[in-house]
Amino acid sequence: MALIILVVTFIATLLIGMPVVFAIGLSSIATVLYEGLPLAVVFQRMASGMNVFAFLTIPFFILTGELMMYGGVAHRIIRCSKALVGHVRGGLGMTNVVACTMFGGISGSPVADVSAMGSALIPLMKKEGIDADYAVNVTTYSSLVGALMPTSHNMIIYSLAAGGAVSMSSLIMAGAVPAAMLTIANLLAAYFVARSRGYPSSPFTGWGEVWLSLAAALPGLFIVVIIVGGILSGVFTAAEAGAVAVGYALLLTTLVYRSLTWQHFLMAAAKAAKTTGIVLLLIGISTMFGYLMSIYGIADMVGDALASISTRPWVIFILVNIALFLFGIFLDMAAHILVCTPIFLPIVQHYGMDPVQFGIIVLLNSTIGLNTPPVGAAFYLGCAIGEVSVSQVVRSIWPFMLALWVTLMIVTLVPETSMLVHDLLK
């Protein structure tokens, strides 16, 4: 009965439109009250879930992305991307994909990526006669690569949800090839739609512009080298890497680019504080929810249900992906990782999947939720910037959704895609 109360209350509150964090919290409280436990148990679990030293990395990475966004790095990346691929059919669409990938490596946040790149590129694409639905889809799906980048705070959340069995350095190495694959898939989808709609391309501006724009963007992109090199070489931990990244971002935007004003700094700090608060609240409440799920053996129940369908590993992995996709429709990215990892990680491990590979699969599935209603934070933000209806964007979403699903299936069924770099460097 306690398990029924937990699940039914959670689903019911989601269906009536309650925010995910409150749905998780209320279902946990209802279950604790039914069991006759003191409510202090809820707050103790929340506090223990948030009181993790490694979580210092989260505000550092978030603040780094905000400083880079307000410090003018985005415009330099757009210029570089346009010089590289702007001459291809649907040039601004291709520029969008490359720019979102580059900025995703700096911000590590798909939503921040949509905000920075979308605000600049979506109105420009519309001005040049490109349909708003195409502009929004290109931006929102290209931004998802940021979740696989070294600056992604969601990697840290997965590391916690996996019980510390997966290190940040392992996830950084595992995300390299899937991030490149997803970028290529997005480029192909953008090109396919641009060609079918007859979008024009711009003339090639010459290699001089390519090198000049690249030189202007490289200092901002170098932050990825600092983080990856520092963590993988053992010079500093992930938390220390975040602190170094913030210091570098401040020096770059104030002394080199000289584009970060005091007002922009305050705005970046306020935005980072707000985002950090939301993420940590989700982590704390989801810790209590996960504790209850472990008590009632939900992972074992789901594993038995999947085993009754098939015992072939590849079938189980596909079924797990479908389940993760369905969860992602209703859950925010952080909540999706924290709720689903304890359920499905033991199952896929039983059938031979490495926790590192599963981490990339969870991150990819979580990004799908960012682009699907009714939660879809990146999706709604893109629609708002493009001033286009949700229904219009959804009708033309399938080439980009297909690109993401193809990438996801390759990562799922071909372990080498996520484990090759990891195994080589290890």
pLDDT digits (tens, 9 = 90+) for 63-80: 888 888 788 787 788 888
Portion of the chain with pLDDT greater than 70, in percent: 99
Query: Mind listing the pLDDT tens digit for each residue in 293-345?
Result: 777 777 778 888 888 888 899 999 999 999 898 888 777 788 888 888 888 99
Residue 12 belongs to a domain: no
Domain presence at residue 164: yes
Confidence band, pLDDT 50/70/90 cuts, at residue 362: very high
- Residue 48 in this model has a pLDDT that exceeds 80: no
Q: By the 8 A CB rule, do 114 and 140 touch?
A: yes
36's tokens = 């006759």
User: Is 21 a domain residue?
Assistant: no
Q: Which pLDDT band, with edges at 50, 70 and 90, does 170 fall under? A: confident
Lowest mean pLDDT among 89-93, 244-248, 260-264: 89-93
- Give burial (CB, 10 Å; 0-12/13-18/19+) of 124: middle
Domain membership flag for residue 101 = yes
Q: Among 160, 66, 183, 59, which Cα is nearest to 113's? A: 66
* Band of pLDDT at residue 118, cut at 50, 70 and 90: confident
Among the residue ranges 197-206, 317-326, 359-368, 386-395, the one predicted with the least confidence is 197-206
Check if the beta carbon of residue 66 is closer than 8 Å to that of residue 271. Answer: yes
Least confident of 153-157, 198-202, 278-282: 198-202
The structural domain count of the chain equals: 1
Query: For the chain, how are helix, strand and coil distributed in percent, rounded to 5?
Result: 80, 0, 20
Instruction: Report DSSP letters for 119-147, one per residue.
Output: HHHHHHHHHTT--HHHHHHHHHHHGGGGG
Q: Does position 259 have pLDDT exceeding 90, yes or no?
A: no
Query: In whole angstroms, what is the distance from residue 280 CA to residue 259 CA?
Result: 30
Structure confidence by residue, pLDDT tens digits, 384-420: 888 888 888 888 888 999 999 999 999 999 998 988 8
- Name the pTM for this structure: 0.84
Instruction: In whole angstroms, give the CA distance from residue 100 to residue 94.
Output: 10
The answer as to whether 29 is a domain residue is no
Cα 15 to chain centroid distance, Å, stands at: 24
pLDDT-derived band at 266 (thresholds 50, 70, 90) equals: very high
> Containing domain of residue 231, as a range?
38-425
1 belongs to a structural domain:
no
Q: Is residue 30 part of a domain?
A: no
* Closest by Cα among 158, 176, 170, 178 to 58: 158
Q: What is the pLDDT of residue 317?
A: 93
Q: Is 264 helix (H, G, I), strand (E, B) or coil?
A: helix
